Amino acid sequence: MRQKSDAGRLTTLRWSLRGASVSIEMNAKPAERGNVTIEFQEVEYCVPGRHSAPILSQISLKILRGETVMLLGRSGSGKTTLLKLVNRLLKATAGTVFVNGASVDSMDPIRLRRGIGFVIQEGGLFPHYTVAKNVVVVPRMLGWTLVRWVERYEEMMRLVGLDPKELARRLPRELSGGQRQRVGVARALAADPEILLMDEPFAALDPVTRAELQREFAELAKRLGKTILFVTHDLREALRIGSRIVMLAEGRIVADAAPENFLRIEHPEVKAFAATFEVQSGARG
């Protein structure tokens, strides 16, 4: 491990992309919108070795390129399980999961995961790595040159609103919660993946920081045109960030609509979430 050497280079190399805002847009792919990126066909998942009700049942869902799909539901509804089937952290018991038309079961899991950004609570950062090494961990695995991943590090940090030189040599424990989460997003984007999987990434933050990051991420998602699958139990977050909301209840999809139409759906689970949203809005009003 050359942690000190690499971190030192990050703080001393001349940053070739400084001030070049056009470089941020290299990730945008708006012209490719409309094609199916992720598809679930009659998917079921049961915990291996347990004779209990399936966690997911009869899941059929198509996610188009460039969509931000919010998986909304109560704890235990199957949201995170569904997310983990995409990058093969879990394997479907029945049915098929496709990424860009290919069954994930036919793909090398390591290569599949390196092509998918993954963000969890607190960013999921490696505690013994500096910020710089955390952000570029996948590009380095992919064999990028030093100059290329240094440039990419700076680009991604500026993209999420952080100073790359100031934070390069800090460890995750030396960051605030909001900074850790921004670094987690920067790391997920570093190798320019087509797909982002996000598992309640802002849930552990205080309300003010959470709202700030939700607004920032909603703008970022629109600009970059990534395909995003985002797990949440927060209706306000789903309405703020998503281009589409898919609700799960007891392992099944019970609602699927654009944010502007979601609250009009006549389903008991949607109404239950809508009632809490109205109570929160009333308390603030």
Q: How many helices (H) and strands (E) does the chain have?
A: 12, 10
The stretch 269-285 carries a mean pLDDT of 73
Answer yes or no: is 204 within a domain. Answer: yes
> CATH no. for residue 215?
3.40.50.300
**Can you give the residue range of the structural domain that contains 54?**
35-115+195-285
Residue 173, number of CB atoms within 10 A of its CB: 9
81 and 145 belong to one structural domain: no
Answer yes or no: is 164 within a domain. Answer: yes
103-158: per-residue pLDDT in tens? 999 999 999 998 999 998 766 899 999 999 999 999 999 999 999 999 999 999 99
230 and 284 belong to one structural domain: yes
The stretch 59-80 carries a mean pLDDT of 96
Answer yes or no: is 154 within a domain. Answer: yes
136 and 272 belong to one structural domain: no
85 and 219 belong to one structural domain: yes
Residue 234, φ and ψ in degrees, nearest 5: -105, 110
Answer yes or no: is 90 within a domain. Answer: yes
- The structure tokens listed for 56 are 């997911």
202-241: per-residue pLDDT in tens? 988 888 988 999 999 999 999 999 999 999 999 999 999 9
What confidence tier does 33 reach under pLDDT thresholds 50, 70, 90? Answer: very low
Answer yes or no: is 7 within a domain. Answer: no
Answer yes or no: is 26 within a domain. Answer: no
150 and 254 belong to one structural domain: no
Residue 148, number of CB atoms within 10 A of its CB: 14
The stretch 191-201 carries a mean pLDDT of 94
Is residue 7 over pLDDT 60? no
Residue 114, φ and ψ in degrees, nearest 5: -70, -20
Tell me how far apart the alpha carbons of residues 116 and 52 are, in angstroms, rounded to a whole number: 31
169 and 260 belong to one structural domain: no
Q: Which of 239, 238, 222 is nearest to 230 (CA)?
A: 238
What pTM was computed for the model?
A: 0.84
- Across the chain, the runs of DSSP E, i.e. the strands, are 36-45, 56-64, 68-72, 94-99, 102-103, 116-119, 195-199, 227-232, 244-249, 252-257
202 and 251 belong to one structural domain: yes
Strand partners, 228: 68, 196
Q: Which of 269, 285, 276 is nearest to 76 (CA)?
A: 269
283 and 200 belong to one structural domain: yes
77 and 130 belong to one structural domain: no
Answer yes or no: is 211 within a domain. Answer: yes
42-66: per-residue pLDDT in tens? 999 999 887 778 999 999 999 999 9
Residue 195, φ and ψ in degrees, nearest 5: -120, 140
- Of 164, 193, 222, which closes a domain? 193
176 and 223 belong to one structural domain: no
56 and 144 belong to one structural domain: no
85 and 216 belong to one structural domain: yes
> Could you give the number of structural domains in the chain?
2
What confidence tier does 37 reach under pLDDT thresholds 50, 70, 90? Answer: very high
Answer yes or no: is 151 within a domain. Answer: yes
